[in-house]
Amino acid sequence: MPAIVATLACAAMLSLFVGSGFAADFPVIELETTSNTKLDGVLRAALNTPELERAAKGGEAKAWQPAVEAERHRLEELMRGQGYLEARVDMSATTAEAGSPEKVILKPLAGPLFRVGMVEVDGLDGVATDAARDDVSRQMMEAAGKPARGDLLATLEDEVLWRLRTASYPFVRVTDRGLLPIPGQALATVRIVVAPGSSATFGTVTYAGLTGLKVEDLSRLQPFRQGDPYDPEQLDRFREALLAHPSVKTVRVRLPEDVDAGGQLQLRAEVEEEQLRSDDATGNYRTGLVAAMSAIAALAIRQVSVASLRPGRSRWPLWLEVVPVLLLAAAFYLIAQRLMLLAFPG
């Protein structure tokens, strides 16, 4: 079988720091290919890791042995995370010889690709409704037949957590998980153990950081009422509504560590308001005054020029009549806006 030789970059780097003598003590790592091109690419990309580089910089001539052994185990775990649950990596016999060999051969043996045969979610006995338990079980069964990869396990964990949180269990957590091969078959059981915690309803919202805003104004933005079942989507909508308020700069909605004696979540919304700076107000006043003076000047010129119009012409062109009015309207708008913001910051 052809082999892919990966010469450690740390050997070249090491010569810059500790000389070429020690760099030569660290062997070349040769990684044999498997029958799976995609898996070979994953293993090649993962081979030259910081663990090996740190071992090469360790300063001891025999530091390569524990480093390569650790790398072998890491590659095995990597393949198992790809769904090859019986994978192993063999090392050549030359690694058993005294001293440092020039080359160490790692031979990956992937074995069969395991697929999900069944999914077990333990810990749902405390979940209040059959509908929530059935929803979790139905979603888990959609994983059947897919490769038993580590990222699939992580996705299933997220699904379990999200569905239980939307079922009003905000403090649910995963306490154990695993991919367990089914004997005699290339199938695996996905096992996830959860601790649902307490079911919760919404309590009151306490606001912090308010200066110009009033609690009553922000309370109208709440999409839930006290006593409604907890729903993370409602909480997200509340956060978005607060951020959409023109006087709110940032907001953070905090959940308590647990429900209170009545099973409610007492929320805390920390708000930072947008503050009108004095230089902003001055700049806008200046703009408004310039616009007002320009409009007044245009009107004065118009009045003076009307007297000098030729006989038979009684008015300016229409656009010259409109421009002063627009300038005055813009000036009044800017000045009034600044006055309102200063008088009513919220």
At which of 133, 164, 195 does a domain end?
195
Based on the fold, state whether residues 173 and 206 are members of the same structural domain: no
pLDDT recorded at residue 114: 96
Based on the fold, state whether residues 7 and 83 are members of the same structural domain: yes
pLDDT recorded at residue 243: 93
Percent with pLDDT over 90 in the chain:
44
pLDDT digits (tens, 9 = 90+) for 44-65: 888 765 555 555 565 554 567 7
Based on the fold, state whether residues 229 and 248 are members of the same structural domain: yes
pLDDT recorded at residue 268: 96
Based on the fold, state whether residues 166 and 123 are members of the same structural domain: yes
How far is 56 from 63, CA to CA, in rounded Å?
Answer: 7
At which of 65, 89, 109 does a domain end?
109
pLDDT digits (tens, 9 = 90+) for 181-235: 999 999 999 999 999 999 999 999 999 999 888 999 899 999 999 999 999 999 9
Domain extent for 127: 115-195
pLDDT digits (tens, 9 = 90+) for 236-258: 999 999 999 988 999 999 999 99
pLDDT recorded at residue 215: 93
**Residue 12 pLDDT level (bands cut at 50, 70, 90):** very low
Backbone φ and ψ of 71, nearest 5°: -65, -35
pLDDT recorded at residue 30: 83
- Residue 236 contacts by C-beta under 8 Å, 6 or more apart in sequence? none
Please name the residue that has the structure tokens 């062109």.
317
Is residue 196 within 8 A of residue 259, CB to CB? The reply is: no
At which of 159, 179, 195 does a domain end?
195
Based on the fold, state whether residues 122 and 55 are members of the same structural domain: no
Based on the fold, state whether residues 120 and 141 are members of the same structural domain: yes
Based on the fold, state whether residues 175 and 224 are members of the same structural domain: no
**Residue 173 pLDDT level (bands cut at 50, 70, 90):** very high
Please name the amino acid found at residue 135.
D
How far is 89 from 278, CA to CA, in rounded Å?
Answer: 69
Structure tokens at 87: 């994978």
Backbone φ and ψ of 269, nearest 5°: -105, 115
Number of domains, the chain: 4
Q: Give the pTM.
A: 0.65
What is the chain's mean pLDDT, rounded? Answer: 78
Least confident of 99-113, 153-167, 301-315: 301-315
Based on the fold, state whether residues 305 and 290 are members of the same structural domain: yes
How far is 110 from 83, CA to CA, in rounded Å?
Answer: 9
